[in-house]
Each structure stands twice: as structure tokens, then as C-alpha cells.
Amino acid sequence: MPPGKIYTFHRRKILLVFLICALLLLGLAVRLGFLMLEKSEYYSKKAEDLHERERPIKAARGRILDVNGTVLADNKTVCTISVIHSQIEDGEEVIQMLCRELELSEASVRKKVEKNSSMERIKSNVEKEIGDKIRNYGLPGVKVDEDYKRYYPYSTLASKVLGFTGGDNQGIIGLEVEYDSILEGTAGKILTMTDARGIELPEAGESRQEPIAGQDLVISLDYNIQKYVEQEALRVREQKQADSVSIILLNPQNGEIYAMTNVPEFDLNNPFALLEETQSKLQKEGETDEAQDTESASGSTPAKTAEELEQEALNQMWRNGCINDTYEPGSTFKVITASAGLEEGVVSLEDHFSCPGFKIVEDRRIRCHKTTGHGAETFLEAAQNSCNPVFIEVGLRLGVERFFHYLKQFGVLDKTGIDLPGEAATIMHKQENVGQVELATISFGQSFQITPIQLASTVASLVNGGKRITPHFGVETRTKTGTLTQVFQYPLGEQIVSEKTSETMQYILEHVVSDGSGKRGYIAGYHVGGKTATSETLPRSANIYISSFVGFAPADNPQVLGLCIINHPQGIYYGGTIAAPVIQRIFTNILPYLGIEQDTSELPTEKD
């Protein structure tokens, strides 16, 4: 190639390279200008975030107060201990100090202290005194932040109603979880600046975003009533060596719950500690499972582990039997059968019946609790006697379709809507599967199951004038300074029976207490209405009974209704004998407390 052409060729190559470089530089300049002008704020924030360390500050959880302002759930100041690896100067000193003060294993502390991360939490919910002591060591890289831990001043009081919180201060069970969004508040944070090595810059200081405390929850539960109700429940449980005792006390006019207990209760400040009786039972079950596992053939289902058994025991200990469990109500359900019969007009107070001690329905002979029979009796007397054959007759007169119509109208087949989690539903036969025998057994409270809160709420609705109520605890919310922020509304539901039927039921149930099976619920000077029950659990051959009594006062204008259920009592097990006196003692003490005055004309007079 001639020299001239070679020169021209190289010149073009140089020019091409120059243009490419110029274009690249121009593109780079444009990109740099774009980043500096348009994206400067974005990348400044990113750079700042790289040098900014954030530590959360928990918000103080709202308190739970009873209707009189007594604090049932409060907060206790605790500390969270953390370490920042890049700031630690003497790792061994930090490890030994934390092990000594926090009583932790060296292996677990060393693993966290030597971990190359921005921050490692060593332990939370540390007592403030210990946190202050650790802070006073002044060791670089050790952070002590004040925090809050839930504290229950009365330990076991209403434990299954109040519930408790976890390590993150969030509700686990009970009202704590039901109203968690109101109680939890909004967390804050502490911001510090660090250099490229992750070491805090002392001249930059700290900036704080203060947490917002949760709101206080005021509930209808009354500390004084709850305390007395629990004492009575414990007394009768010990006396009758029962598995458990459940008591509900509510206002039948508006559904406010004054007290609810399921003894044995547990310690809210130590909710993962099993009760002594539960530990003993768990140990026996573990020994049994171990023996069965040893004797079992290869390939059979393995026995449960100790951890699984313990968790099941905890879940059972935390259960609120008043709402989470169902039971066969027995004769207390006759209040519902009677109300339906009166409302439909298939029975009246003056109707006459004859009880030979049994009633034959299809091919079944269904006996009365009095096997010799009650003989001739009116409907009022049948209610006083709790006569099964008469209530079977009322159910049969209604028929399956009308009976189920009233079950739906009364709300028995739905949940009550109580403001507690985990409410169970009524377990009832499907209507299409109910024949005459099933209808007969349902009529006097057998062959199905209902929750205690559903029974109490339904009876309350039938005797309060006929308006369906929603049982509840929540009344209002307030700020910590006492400013009212919200009032919960629970409007009365539909008219489920006429006022006339409701008045008739008040009259019948008052006579049950004054002259019938509920005599042990009678209180001189007060008009008390009520119904007893003694039901048998399945299988019937086990001879395990449930004794119960539902009572209310004053009978002609109910202001308080109580339900007592004693599970598996030893010895005498009749509801009228052992459950009615419990409500009688509770009413005797709380009726004056609630301002319900005695009828002096009903008091016995002294004889000369």
C-alpha cells in the first residue's frame, strides 16, 4: 500500500478512536450531571443510610382498667441489652460481664458478641436495676435501651379474660390480643451516625423519634366482683374436688360482663409456668406414653415428645372454658324450650300434664329424673319440678321446623359476638337429621352442646324483656391522661320474644327458685329467678356429671345474671344442691354492692 494511503488509513483510525472516546466522555459527563443534579437527594439519603444506625424504642402499651378505674394490666420499665461488634474494644471483657450480669451461657453470648453484624440483641425484658448496672460499666459497643414489659398487678385475676403479651409486647390471648391495635401504640427509634468502619461519631450525637403510647382500655369487669367470684369458684372446686369451675356474671340489660372466671386460673406474670397440678398430671402422662412407646410394635404411632405434651398443657391451661369450650347444658336449656313454647302458644301456665316417670317417643323410653313420676302437674309445676316428660311434650308440640325456627330466632345457633378471641359455636344436629327422638332430647338439653356464654346470653335475652344482647367487656378507650377517645356501642338486637313471654318466664323462673328445684338459690328479701341442671357427659357409662345453675335478680327487672358450671364434681353432683348455692352466695354479697335494694316486705319477721 502506498505511504499516502497508509497515512490516511491511520489518521482515520485515530479520528475514530478520538470520536468514540469523546462520545464516551460526553455520555459520562451527562450521566454524572444527571446524578449530581437530578438524583443528588436520593444518593445523599442512601449514603446517609449507610452511616446511620437505628435502634427501636417500644411504645408503652395501653393499660387495661376495670369499670372503676382499677389498673388490671400495666407496664413495667425494663431494658434491652445489645452489642455493636464494630465498636467493641475488649470482646473478652464484654462477654464475661454480660454472662455474669445476665446469667447467660458463655457460648450463647460469645456467638453474638463476635458476630460481625451491625447490631445483635443479647437479651430483652431485663430488670431496670440490672440494665442500669450494665450501663454503668461504660464498655464501648454495649447498648442499654429502656423498654416496657407487661405487668399484671393482681397476678392470676381474670387471667383467661385479660390474656398476656409475648416478648415483642403483642397480645397472645384474651383482651390483650382482641384489642391489640388499640393497646399497642406506635414504636419510636434512636438514630446515630457512624463512620465507614461502623463506629459511632460522638460529635453527631443521637436523634430520637419518640414512641406514641397505646390507649387505655376500660372494661366492664369489676375488680371487686371478679375477686369474690373467683374466691367462690375456688372454694366450691376444692370442696367438690371438681376438674374446673366456670362462672359468668353479666348485666342482662346491656350485656356488660361484671366477672368471668375459669378456675384454676394461671399467673399472668409468668404465663409459661405450668400449674403444679398440671405438672403432676403431665409427668404421669409422660410416664404412661413412655411405657406405651416401649411396649408398642414397630411402625406404630410414636408417643408425643415432652415438648409437645407441655405445649398442649399450656394451651389447655390458657383456654377460657366460658367461650372456647362447649358442654351439654341439661335442664338450664328448658328455659329456651319453655320460651319457644309460650311464644308459639303451644303451652300455657294453666296447661295440665301427667308424669308417670317416663315418656315413650317412637321406640325409646325416655325417663324423668324422678323415676316414680311427678303425677298430675301444671306447666308451672313442671318447670318447678324440672320434669323431662313435660318439656319433651312441649318440644313435640312445636315440631322440628318450629323448634329450629326459634333456635335461630333466639340466636342459639350463632356465636354471641363477644369481644374475646376463639369463641366456639353451638354443636347442634342438622335440622334435616332431627327426628322425634332427637327433638325430645334437645327439648330438655341433651344430645347437643353449647358454650356457657351462649347459654347465659340467651337466657338473659329471654328474661330482660325479650331483646337480644351482645355480651362484652370493652366499654371505652382513653389516653393515659384520661381523655376519652372512643365509646364502644353494643345496641340491643331484635325482639326475640314478646315482652309478655319474657314476663311469664320471669314469673316461672322465680317460682323455680322460691318453690322448686332451685330453692338453694333463694335469698330472703330478693326476688331471684333461676334454673338448675345436672347433665352427664359422654359416654354415659363414665358417670361424669356437670352441675350448673343460672340465676338472675331482681326477677321482675333483671339487673344481674349469673351462671355457675361445676365440671365433674365428686360426691353429690346435683345442680340444685351444689351449683345454686354458689350463685346464692355471690348474689347475697354483690346485690347490695350494685345498689339493688332488698324488698323489706319479703323479709321474715321476728316472732314474739
Active site residues: 331
Nearest to 111 by CA among 124, 101, 98: 98
Cell numbers given for 435: 327426628
Which helix (H) or strand (E) element contains residue 191? strand 188-193
d(CA 160, CA 422): 12
Q: What are the angstrom distances between the C-alpha of 157 and each of 292, 331, 417, 429?
A: 39, 31, 23, 37
Q: For 204-229, b where at least 16 C-beta lie within 10 A, e where not — what string?
A: eeeeeeebebbbbbbbbbbbbbbebb
Rg (the chain; Cα; Å)? 35
Q: CB-based burial of residue 362 (10 Å sphere; 0-12 exposed, 13-18 middle, 19+ buried)?
A: exposed
Q: Where are the beta strands (DSSP E) in 286-419?
A: 352-355, 358-361, 364-367, 375-378
Provide the total of helices (H) and of strands (E) in the chain, helices listed first: 20, 19
Instruction: Tell me which residue has cell 383467661.
Output: 160
Cβ pair 230, 322 in contact under 8 A: no
3-state secondary structure 542-588: HCCEEEEEEEEECCCCCCEEEEEEEECCCCCCCHHHHCHHHHHHHHH
d(CA 440, CA 428): 14
Q: For 486-513, b where at least 16 C-beta lie within 10 A, e where not — what string?
A: eebebebeeebbeeebbebbbebbbbbb
Cell numbers given for 376: 298430675
CA 87, 92, 97, 102 dihedral sign is positive
SS3 6: helix
Which residue blocks in 38-53 are alpha helix, DSSP H? 40-50
Instruction: Tell me which residue has cell 311464644.
Output: 343
Which helix (H) or strand (E) element contains residue 98? helix 91-102
Angle of helix 334-344 versus helix 499-515 axis, rounded to 10: 140
Phi first, then psi: what are they for 306, rounded to 5°?
-60, -35
Cβ pair 439, 407 in contact under 8 A: no
